[in-house]
Structure 1
Amino acid sequence: MPDRLITQSLLDAVECYFDLMFDNDVSHFDQVFAGSAQLHGLRDGSLRLLPAADYKAMLASTPSPKCKSAPREQEVLLIDFAAPTQALVKVVVRIDTLWYCDYLSYHRIGDAWLVTAKSFHVARRLEAADQ
């Protein structure tokens, strides 16, 4: 099992992921996602595949939850270390009116934990009255 320092550095990386999901500040994108990262998920019944560069462009062109004054809600549900340099983190995160359940594959590359793969699922869609 990794020591506390490694675990805390992973949790810090997850917090950077949450920051990116809330503010869409793509100047930090490369500190969260590896350039080779792939994102997969079901959205409206269809499987989507996004390379990291396409996801970065999408975030850059989409109004952030922060600018919409949407609530910031997120939670780490699970951390599973395969090794001190590889982990899986399951999170839920609200992005505007959508609640996502994300499985984030992290690898420690140099001194940084980076998402190398993301599997996402829209777990819940909020109606206007729910917000």
Structure 2
Amino acid sequence: MESYTFDQLSSKVAAFVPHGTNPGEFDEGLWLNSKAIAKFIGYALCAADEALRDADWLRTKEEEKERKGVTIGGGIGSISDIAEAAQMICEKRLRRLSPFFIPKILVNMASGHVSMKYGFQGPNHAAVTACATGAQTL
């Protein structure tokens, strides 16, 4: 956590996701390949891919796809994109606001992109319920 200073925060629990192309690093080139994909969606795609590989669920028969769904919980989509859009609005630069802004910040887009990537056609759900998110997602 050398890149950031968290001394002023009361919580001392944090995580850092190393970015790069080495094993154990998040490769943005693999997961953030569209203007409509925010970093949290890329993290969801990467985590889903790792989970599906670990569970050996990538070889899904076509008739099984209707029985496989996705549930992802989160707190807020992409706060950096929201802050950037708010700044543009405050500065009256509305024409600079991306048409991808709304799809980038919606939490349900993470589960949607995972469903689309793997062709899952079952239920698709995204929980955003504060402290209950983890329990409701399970």
TM over 0.5: no
| TM-score of the superposed pair, with normalisation by structure 1 | 0.24
Higher RCO structure (Cα 8 Å, ≥6 apart): 2
Q: Tell me which structure has the larger Cα radius of gyration.
A: 2
Q: In proportion to residue count, which structure has more strand?
A: 1
Q: In proportion to residue count, which structure has more helix?
A: 2
